[in-house]
Amino acid sequence: MLEWLTPYYLWIKAAHIISAISWMAGLLYLPRLFVYHTQVDNESSQYQLFLTMERRLLTFIMKPAAIASYTFGIMLILTPGVWQKGVYWLHTKIFLVILLTIGHVLMHLWYKNFLHKKSTKSGLFFRVINEIPTLLMIGIVTLAVTKPF
């Protein structure tokens, strides 16, 4: 089957952690950019600067890091002996990662709204949204480290 993954398990795990940290950096920073973006005029050069920063963050950091996180995470799950009966913490972690992914997709949609000058969300909205990835990360890391159930 996929026994060839076993000797590389720790390397795959390291790559998964590195890519997840990179993805989280974007998920934590982009809503903060949105907060600042709501505070400038649609026709200003600052508005365009925020669009450039957001696009680059999404395109060059968040998207590749999310793909890498999923790729290495799936490789870890496929490593023989990792996915076992009764490993419910992993099911819960995967659910939280799916919620994180939904947040990523929503952030991309909010960026598109800024791009087309159709954003109706307030700075307060994005300040609140900015806390959600942190809460999900706390749950994900706690589950991965403690494996409570």
* Per-residue confidence (pLDDT) for residue 82, from 0 to 100: 79
Six token digits for residue 5 = 């993954």
Query: In Å, what is the CA distance from 41 to each residue of 5, 38, 56, 115, 119?
Result: 52, 8, 21, 13, 12
What per-residue confidence (pLDDT) applies to 1? 64
What digits encode the pLDDT tens for the residues 42-64? Answer: 999 999 999 999 999 999 999 99
12, 75 Cβ separation under 8 angstroms: yes
Position 83 scores a pLDDT of 76
pLDDT at residue number 86: 75
Between vectors from CA 135 to CA 134 and to CA 136, what angle results, nearest 5°?
Answer: 90
Gap between the Cα atoms of 106 and 128, Å rounded: 14
Q: In the chain, which stretches have pLDDT less than 50?
A: none
Burial code of 44-69, b = ≥16 C-beta within 10 A, e = fewer? Answer: eeeeeebbeebeebbeebbeebbebb
pLDDT of residue 142: 98
Q: How far apart are CA 61 and CA 25, in angstroms?
A: 9
Handedness of CA 39, 41, 44, 48 (dihedral sign): positive
Output the pLDDT for position 11: 98
